[in-house]
Amino acid sequence: MENETVDLRDLLFLIKEQKGMDASLGLEFDCVIETDDVKPLVKVINYAINYTAQLTDQAQQISLNTSISGIILSFTGFTSAQELPEINPGVNDALQKYGAVMEQKGEAGKFTQLLITFKSNPIG
């Protein structure tokens, strides 16, 4: 397959619309990656949305930012949950294709946050 440019901002708007979800979006322009298959990334984004949704009864906050080190996609929600579930190991396996990793941040009983970091010049 041939590589295509994927605009992460457009992709997030599309996913939000299709899911009909209540989320606050803060998305920068020009956050793009090159890949030959966007489907695994869509699954990972849905995983992050569902992970956060299970822990909060409020609107999620989704942000997309670019920096010198790469692109950061963040899913945040306030939570009263006293335990934050571990991330499925298959998620980071799927993200390798995009030169990305997911890490879990947050504080039990306060907030949960998943960060997906795409290293500069990801290959896919």
* Tens digits of residue pLDDT in 60-115: 999 999 988 899 999 999 999 999 999 999 999 999 999 999 999 999 999 999 99
For residues 48 and 102, is the Cβ–Cβ distance under 8 A? yes
Predicted pLDDT at 69: 83
Residue 29 banded pLDDT, cuts 50, 70, 90: very high
CATH class of 4-119: alpha beta
Pairing, β 32-35 against β 70-78: unpaired
Residue 86 has φ and ψ, to the nearest 5°, of -70, 155
Instruction: Give the pair of three-digit tokens for residue 20.
Output: 């009909």
pLDDT digit string, tens, across residues 30-64: 999 999 999 999 999 999 999 999 999 999 999 99
Provide the pLDDT for residue 1.
66
Residue 11 to residue 35: CA distance in whole angstroms: 13
